[in-house]
Amino acid sequence: MKICVLAGDGIGPEITDQALRVLHALDLKFDVTEAPVGGAAYRALGHPLPDSTLKLARESDAILFGAVGDFSLDTLPRELRPEQAILGLRKELNLFANFRPALVYPELVQASSLKPEVVAGLDILIIRELTGDIYFGQPRGIRTLANGEREGYDTMRYSESEIRRVAHVGFQAAQKRGRRLCSVDKANVLDTMQLWREVVSEVGEEYPEVALSHMYVDNAAMQLLKNPKQFDVIVTGNMFGDILSDEASMLTGSIGMLPSASLNEHGFGLYEPIHGSAPDIAGKNIANPLATILSAAMMLRYSFNLAEAAERIETAVKRVLAQGFRTSDIFEPGAKKAGTIEMGDAVLAALS
């Protein structure tokens, strides 16, 4: 099992270190390679996603990704900014399906800004299409109109095959969970989304055991706050998924707890916490490494088919929370304050 570790910027190296410690503690054999990405790669090699990094990523079976982002490089041309690395990896490796579970741990119910009864026991999965939609559609740009005024424009596009393949991913994920899939679109206003709804419905005929529903994105944004437990799996396009998955992450109360996976059709995946490089807390040993540790568990499950090993990690994380260990982002009075390394230590101890 070849794992390419792209730690990136800010807290990236600190949190991937802890995830690697956990992986190495399992009785499995990994071949680990590391390469620079994001701002670190720009500084070292002049590009946020250097060819050498992309080559290593391609030669691996899975990528463990930390985070990219460095405010001091925000004035660079867009193609050289650290965040371009993650967009480039998604595009180059065809990572079209983004899995974002949002799970509320009983011990962290109070961390949510919603009422405990609304979020207690929440366990939903958002699948966001990641390589199409208005983020990649052409034409796009800023042009000057005949009257001298500037106009910005982007293009929302989805081909039938792009919709079909992510719909299959959604149905298959729902098959393994509660067998309910909600497709989120804006078919009442956008032609692209009308096609989305038609194609998802067609694919649904192949999965009669999964209950398919459709919801407009504005309603979905409301329902996620009003009654999030009504959902099992949500499948949606790139832009709507971007917004809804961040909203859903806040139901759980902590950005430092949530893992994600971005997969291609062969099960190759990039696994990363949903948060960014958190430059405000980098290098202080206070970042929560659990989202990255849980991303490593997702890697074992989805890329290496090692569900049991993944569960070992997930159970260890539940155990350390039950034991009262908390990094500062999820700290509450009476808990045991842990730094990044101490949280890694606690997970290692809980594994055994």
User: Where do contacts with ligand NAD occur on this chain (CB under 6 A)?
Assistant: 11, 67-69, 71, 83, 86, 255-256, 272, 275-281, 287-288, 291, 329
Closest-CA residue to 268 (of 53, 90, 85, 116): 90
Intra-chain end-to-end CA distance of the chain, in Å: 22
Catalytic: which of 61, 154, 246, 345?
246
Compute the distance between CA of residue 175 and CA of residue 178 in angstroms, rounded to an integer: 7
**CB nearer ligand NAD, residue 4 or residue 187:** 4
Task: Centre a 10 Å sphere on the Cβ of residue 311 and count the other Cβ atoms it contains.
Answer: 13
DSSP symbols for 34-81: E---THHHHHHHSSSS-HHHHHHHHHSSEEEEEE---GGGTTS-GGGS
Q: State in angstroms the smallest separation of the CB of 119 from ligand NAD.
A: 19
Task: Centre a 10 Å sphere on the Cβ of residue 179 and count the other Cβ atoms it contains.
Answer: 14
Q: State in angstroms the smallest separation of the CB of 186 from ligand NAD.
A: 24
Catalytic: which of 105, 185, 186, 302?
186
The answer to whether 302 is a known catalytic residue is no
Q: State in angstroms the smallest separation of the CB of 103 from ligand NAD.
A: 16
Is 13 within 8 Å of 38 (Cβ atoms)? no
**CB nearer ligand NAD, residue 204 or residue 253:** 253
The answer to whether 105 is a known catalytic residue is no
Q: Is the dihedral of CA 70, 71, 72, 77 positive or negative?
A: positive
The answer to whether 242 is a known catalytic residue is yes
Catalytic: which of 31, 74, 191, 218?
218
The answer to whether 153 is a known catalytic residue is no
**CB nearer ligand NAD, residue 181 or residue 299:** 299
Catalytic: which of 17, 123, 242, 345?
242
The answer to whether 185 is a known catalytic residue is no
Q: State in angstroms the smallest separation of the CB of 8 from ligand NAD.
A: 6
Type of residue at 151: E
**CB nearer ligand NAD, residue 239 or residue 278:** 278
Supply the residues annotated as catalytic.
Answer: 135, 186, 218, 242, 246
